[in-house]
Structure 1
Amino acid sequence: MTEQHPSGGYILEELSVGMTAEKQVEITEARIQHFAEASDDFNPVHMDEEFASKTAYRGRIAHGLLSASIGSAVVGTILPGAGAIYLSQTLAFHKPVRIGDILIARVSVASVDPETARVVLTAEGYVGDDLVMNGEATVRVPRRRRPAKA
């Protein structure tokens, strides 16, 4: 498992196919509430147990993009880390994530293009052994670190 680089981010030349990093986060009532406020998405399937209990999910579920944002946290803070800029992301959601679930967001380097400084990452989300989401991200990665401030 790849750890956060001491500088905060990997540069292009330090990345190789197969590098993998993950982050585990508990999905809480507070996270769902904060995400709803940040995104302005107050869909009752996320916010209202009575409403959600009458849906196909039989109860509240977390926002899909809340779960996906944990993968974004891996990209922005661990692999590649600070300096990585999202260019695109695909996502497929397979199972709902609920309050109390521990979401494991896992990101792996699938390819590195030294000409364009673009890196393709596979992204997966798990609750236990269940794949709840997956996709692919393309990010631009710095070729060198900024010099330390004097």
Structure 2
Amino acid sequence: MTQLVHAHPSGGYILEELHVGMAAEKIVDVTEDRIRLFAEASDDFNPVHLDEAYAARTAYRGRIAHGLLSAAFGSAVVGTILPGAGSIYVSQTLAFHFPVRIGDQVLIRITVISVDPESARVELNCEGFAGEKMVMDGIAVVRVPRRRKPQSR
């Protein structure tokens, strides 16, 4: 059973608070600015992302967002909602199914599929949707803090 959660008041869930079925979602607008800033941050200036005239002549018939930009939206959920602050990516598999375009809203859904108390790692199912279409999916392994530090007064 899936339980939709929001960001923990402390900023992140600890290992002992996580269980299979916890899920978090975030909707992100794909904009011209996001694509440009991602190109600059990643140094990926492929014209299929940035040049409409070029992209119009490709199989995509127009510009598409970087696949890893959509994956970065998943990273935002992992780093800020579930598990949240203190979690560290160990690995991520990804499959891209449909292109994402300027103007799309991408719904990212992250769901806990396993918790390993011994290694303090969780497996997360990562999905991205534009409208009804699943545009990407994969599995992340994330290391999670075991307990919070006491707050200093």
Q: TM-score range by the shorter chain?
A: over 0.9
Cα deviation 1:108-132 (Å, max 9, x = unaligned): 0000001110100000000011000
Matched, 1:134 2:143: no
1:94 aligned partner: 97
TM-score (norm: length of structure 2): 0.97
Cα deviation 1:45-89 (Å, max 9, x = unaligned): 000000000000000000000000000000000000000000000
TM-score (norm: length of structure 1): 0.99
Matched, 1:70 2:60: no
Aligned residues: 150
Matched, 1:149 2:152: yes
> Which residue among 29, 33, 39 is the counterpart of 2:42?
39
Q: RMSD across aligned C-alpha pairs, in angstroms?
A: 0.6
Secondary structure at 1:68 match in 2: helix
| CA apart distance, 1:146 | 2.0
Contiguous gaps of at least 5 residues in structure 2: none
1:124 aligned partner: 127
- Among the aligned pairs, what percent are the same residue? 70
Structure-1 separation of matches of 2:126 and 2:146: 23
Secondary structure at 1:13 match in 2: helix
Structure-2 separation of matches of 1:31 and 1:116: 35
Structure-1 separation of matches of 2:149 and 2:16: 15
